Amino acid sequence: MSEAVKTTDRTNEIETVRLGRNLGAEIRNLDLSQHLTANEFGVVHRAFLENEILVFRDQDIDARDQIAFGRMFGDLSIHPFSPNLAGMPELIVLDNHQGNPPRLTDQWHSDETFRETPPMATILRSTITPKLGGDTMFASMSAAYEGLSDEIQRLISGLEGIFDFKPFRTLFNNDPESKKRLLEIEDEHPIRTHPVVRVHPESGRKSIFVNPQFTIGIKGMKEEESRALLTMLFDQAKVPEYQFRHHWEQNTMIMWDNRCVLHYAIHDYYPQRRRMERVTIAGDKPFGPDAPYDGPHIGRPELTLSEQDAPPQDGEEPVRNFKR
């Protein structure tokens, strides 16, 4: 990112193009190799809260630009397990290829939810993309929450999910050194709880805040009760209406709201190479609907209808569907 002082403001040129009904928008006409002005940042931030995922295409930028962009939203966080580059601990390089198959990503999850304060957002930028496959799936868990019946919404509001860094346990071997390290990590990241229904701290939207990678139970429930309820909630991410699928091209950067979106990296490209650089923005402690919330209420954008959406006019043959 150039250190030159910017003299132009691109706010009026920025286009936000929705990609999905419930989540996803592309930001156009914004070259991220230049610093964002406060107004430009305001447009991007608002679009992020409304759409939960932002896509920036054709960004010929480097890790420093990505880090600078992330820092506009807040402090960056450092992953407790992932190896990082010397001198750039905020950057995670995900480089999968023959000999280094992808791990732990082909399961629905939101990043690092075993932490007391899970990240607010993850920013992923593609540097090498496979010719075939390697898409990332996303699910809006706020849309999933809204899709539940009132009865189930009531049942799960106020419940606490139990979280553990479970899949990362497989990274530790059985030798004394690894066992010692695992005990230290368990001390740093004990099993903890988060609300099953999370209220978004910036938009007020409620979402289902459990995921199959890190949620191992529900506080106060018997194991089989937990399992049944969690299976039903996990399955919400599989509903196509709540999903958005992104096909990667080189130099694309995606930022998703880790507070209300689950993601799943599809494991269908190996042994082709897929290389990504990731930056993670620190978040706050999740709270549920019982806690006071006096922030703004930001909904998803209204659907705008065009002329072609008008119902058939007089004289057109009406088509009758089967009743649902």
> Any catalytic annotation for residue 111?
yes
Question: In a 3-state reduction of DSSP, which class is residue 244?
Answer: strand
Q: Of 115, 125, 198, 278, which residue is the catalytic one?
A: 278
Q: Of 65, 109, 257, 259, which residue is the catalytic one?
A: 109
- Token pair belonging to 193: 């709880």
308: CB partners within 8 A, 6+ apart: none
Query: Closest distance between Fe ion and the C-beta of residue 263, in Å?
Result: 6
Whichever of 156 and 261 has its CB closer to Fe ion, that residue is: 261
Query: Closest distance between Fe ion and the C-beta of residue 122, in Å?
Result: 7
Whichever of 226 and 280 has its CB closer to Fe ion, that residue is: 280
First-to-last alpha carbon distance for the chain, in angstroms, is 54
Binding residues for Fe ion, rule: CB under 5 A, are: 111
Omega before residue 271 within 30° of 0, cis:
yes
Distance (Å, whole) CA 55 – CA 28: 9
Structure-token match 């368990």, residue found: 186
Query: Closest distance between Fe ion and the C-beta of residue 104, in Å?
Result: 8
Whichever of 65 and 111 has its CB closer to Fe ion, that residue is: 111
Question: In a 3-state reduction of DSSP, which class is residue 204?
Answer: coil
> Any catalytic annotation for residue 263?
yes
Largest CA distance in the chain: 81
Q: Of 246, 263, 274, 300, which residue is the catalytic one?
A: 263
Query: Closest distance between Fe ion and the C-beta of residue 265, in Å?
Result: 7
Q: Of 111, 115, 189, 198, which residue is the catalytic one?
A: 111
194-228 exposure pattern, b = at least 16 Cβ within 10 A, e = fewer: bbbbbbbbebebbbbbbbbbbbbbbeebeeeebee
Kindly tell me the burial class for residue 90, based on how many C-beta atoms sit within 10 Å of its own C-beta (0-12, 13-18, 19 or more).
buried
Query: Closest distance between Fe ion and the C-beta of residue 17, in Å?
Result: 25
The residues pairing with 15 across neighbouring beta strands, listed in sequence order, are: 28
Contact 208, 236 (CB under 8 A): yes
> Any catalytic annotation for residue 9?
no
Whichever of 40 and 111 has its CB closer to Fe ion, that residue is: 111
Whichever of 6 and 247 has its CB closer to Fe ion, that residue is: 247
Closest residue to bound Fe ion by CB: 111
Distance (Å, whole) CA 303 – CA 188: 45
Task: Give me the active site residues, please.
Answer: 109, 111, 263, 278
